[in-house]
């Protein structure tokens, strides 16, 4: 059986509303299919735009075999390129972030402008055409201060997301925000276990003592009953926030690839801090009018979930490293004029989610170890608690299944 046929069979064999078969979390062939058909085809969150403050600031990321660089140009535009020299293929930038006036290849110093144009190549023959050797572009859009990239030749439509996300993010003023802290961890688990874990709070009571001071683990908080239907406390929160100019109701992609919703925190908490008070004192993000605006939640499959609070924002990026390793990068954003040690204490700002991420890492790693056992049998998801997980695995299986192409045996 070919790899595609094998994976198709695994997808077909899965039981609805159950965890996935072991091979989908462990096998190299599935991992390669995930890279080729999901990560190389979808829009991926790369960086917050405010991380690239001035012309020449760049960030690099690795998506499977593709090294990519995202860089702010002299014209202020953020662009993405394959981080691969057009001479003999050296990786241009090895550092994860930095700043440079030009992109200079470390091997033979071919020199590219920040817009990808090849400016200089020493001792090349007369018929060499620099215009034919600019950096290869990667699709790149900045939506409300979140930079997304797509490796596909023809990316999926993004207009609906851009409209909704742009509107929901506008009051958070991400473009004027500042990066206060970045944490990158490797979780020894398949990327889908990382996403599944994020899509439910069934585990929160047991795993997240500090987050649970301020984040409700009630599944009704994030259940989608429709744009105008939710539990009374959420409806009251939406009314108050929308009256103050904060878009708040659920908005989602028809097949749940993304969702936006503003939820209240527990007991009128202001922020994800141990004290429940704002971590940034006396300053708020953008034009958010009050401290207890709750959290604007935004996820987009396959690689990001986010929390936008009144005093700060936390953005998450997930990148698969191997079948059983996943990189999770968390970035804390604060109002642009907030000064560390004056307006906020870095430990107070980051401690709850640093702990939460580590707790989630342990959960995911133990999950991977258990799934590796030949004794593993996919168990049922709770329809009450794990609706989000079901939506994620359905999205994943439908997306991968459609891209593997029709089963030749059925077509015959
Ligand atoms: O990050 C989230 O979206 C939340 C917080 C804890 C688990 N998850 C549902
Ligand atoms: Fe980049 Fe030679 S490989 S200059
Ligand atoms: Fe968690």
pLDDT in tens, the chain (412 residues): 689 999 999 999 999 999 999 999 999 999 999 999 999 999 999 999 999 999 999 999 999 999 999 999 999 999 999 999 999 999 999 999 999 999 999 999 999 999 999 999 999 999 999 999 999 999 999 999 999 999 999 999 999 999 999 999 999 999 999 999 999 999 999 999 999 999 999 999 999 999 999 999 988 887 767 666 778 888 999 999 999 999 999 999 999 999 999 999 998 899 999 999 999 999 999 999 999 999 999 999 999 999 999 999 999 999 999 999 999 999 999 999 999 999 999 999 999 999 999 999 999 999 999 999 999 999 999 999 999 999 999 999 999 999 998 766 665 5
Domain count, the chain: 2
∠ Cα 144 145 146 (to 5°): 100
∠ Cα 30 392 308 (to 5°): 120
Q: Candidates 105, 121, 130: which one to mutate for ligand 2, based on the most atoms within 8 Å of Cβ?
A: 105
- How remote is the CA of residue 202 from the centroid of ligand 2, in Å? 51
- How remote is the CA of residue 287 from the centroid of ligand 3, in Å? 29
Same domain membership, residue 204 and residue 64: no
Same domain membership, residue 130 and residue 250: no
Query: Coil, helix or strand for 396?
Result: helix
Same domain membership, residue 243 and residue 283: yes
332 in a structural domain? yes
407 in a structural domain? no
290 in a structural domain? yes
* Residue nearest atom 8 in ligand 1 by C-alpha distance: 198
- How remote is the CA of residue 128 from the centroid of ligand 2, in Å? 15
> Given the DSSP bridges, would you call strands 78-82 and 57-63 parallel, antiparallel or unpaired?
unpaired
Same domain membership, residue 261 and residue 192: yes
Same domain membership, residue 222 and residue 143: no
Same domain membership, residue 325 and residue 228: yes
Listed residue (189, 198, 185) closest to 331, CA to CA: 185
Q: What would the two tokens of residue 121 be?
A: 């190549």
25 in a structural domain? no
Give me the sign of the Cα torsion angle 129, 130, 136, 139. negative
395 in a structural domain? no
The residues pairing with 69 across neighbouring beta strands, listed in sequence order, are 60, 81
Same domain membership, residue 146 and residue 202: no
Are 141 and 162 spatial neighbours (Cβ–Cβ below 8 Å)?
Answer: yes
In angstroms, the CA 332 to CA 269 distance is: 18
- How remote is the CA of residue 295 from the centroid of ligand 2, in Å? 46
Predicted-complex ipTM score: 0.83
Q: Establish whether residue 87 lines the binding site of ligand 2, counting it when its CB lies within 6 angstroms of any ligand atom.
A: yes
Q: Candidates 67, 81, 85: which one to mutate for ligand 2, based on the most atoms within 8 Å of Cβ?
A: 85
In angstroms, the CA 115 to CA 71 distance is: 8
Same domain membership, residue 223 and residue 346: yes
Residue 68: domain span: 43-150
Q: What would the two tokens of residue 336 be?
A: 């642009």
Same domain membership, residue 88 and residue 222: no
* Residue nearest atom 3 in ligand 1 by C-alpha distance: 198
CA distances from 29 to 2, 62, 377, 405 (A): 10, 19, 20, 16
310 in a structural domain? yes
Rg of the chain taking only CA atoms, in angstroms: 22
- How remote is the CA of residue 130 from the centroid of ligand 3, in Å? 50
């Amino acid at each position: 059986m070919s790899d595609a046929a094998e994976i198709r069979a695994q997808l077909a064999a899965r039981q609805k509303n159950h965890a996935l078969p072991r091979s989908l979390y462990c096998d190299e062939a599935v991992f390669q299919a995930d890279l080729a058909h999901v990560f190389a085809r979808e829009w991926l969150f790369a960086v917050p735009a405010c991380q690239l403050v001035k012309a020449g600031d760049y960030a690099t990321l690795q998506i499977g075999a593709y090294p990519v660089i995202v860089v702010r140009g002299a014209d202020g535009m953020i662009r993405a390129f394959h981080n691969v020299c057009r001479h003999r293929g050296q990786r241009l930038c090895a550092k994860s972030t930095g700043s440079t006036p030009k992109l200079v290849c470390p091997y033979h110093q071919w020199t590219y402008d920040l817009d990808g144009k090849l400016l200089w190549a020493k001792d090349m023959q007369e018929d060499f055409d620099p215009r034919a050797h600019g950096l290869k572009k990667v699709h790149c859009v900045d939506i409300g201060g979140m930079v997304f990239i797509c490796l596909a030749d023809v990316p999926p439509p993004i207009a609906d997301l851009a409209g909704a996300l742009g509107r929901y993010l506008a009051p958070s003023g991400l473009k004027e925000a500042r990066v206060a802290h970045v944490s990158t961890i490797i979780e020894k688990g398949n990327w889908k276990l990382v996403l599944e874990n994020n899509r439910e709070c069934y585990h929160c009571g047991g795993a997240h003592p500090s987050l649970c001071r301020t984040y409700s683990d009630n599944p009704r908080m994030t259940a989608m009953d429709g744009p105008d239907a939710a539990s009374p406390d959420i409806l009251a929160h939406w009314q108050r926030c929308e009256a103050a100019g904060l878009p708040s109701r659920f908005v989602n992609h028809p097949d749940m690839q993304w969702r936006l919703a503003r939820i209240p925190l527990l007991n009128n908490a202001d922020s994800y801090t141990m004290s429940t008070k704002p971590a940034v004192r006396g300053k708020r993000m953008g034009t958010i009018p009050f401290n207890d605006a709750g959290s604007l939640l935004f996820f987009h499959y396959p690689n990001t979930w986010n929390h936008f609070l009144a005093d700060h924002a936390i953005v998450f990026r997930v990148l698969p490293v191997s079948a059983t390793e996943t990189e999770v990068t968390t970035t804390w954003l604060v109002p642009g004029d907030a000064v560390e040690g004056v307006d906020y204490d870095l430990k107070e700002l980051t401690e709850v989610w640093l702990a939460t991420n580590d707790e989630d890492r342990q959960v995911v790693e133990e999950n991977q170890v258990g799934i590796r056992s030949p004794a593993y049998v996919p168990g049922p998801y709770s329809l009450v608690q794990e609706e989000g997980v079901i939506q994620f695995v359905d999205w994943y299986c439908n997306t991968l299944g459609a891209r593997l192409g029709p089963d030749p045996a059925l077509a015959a």
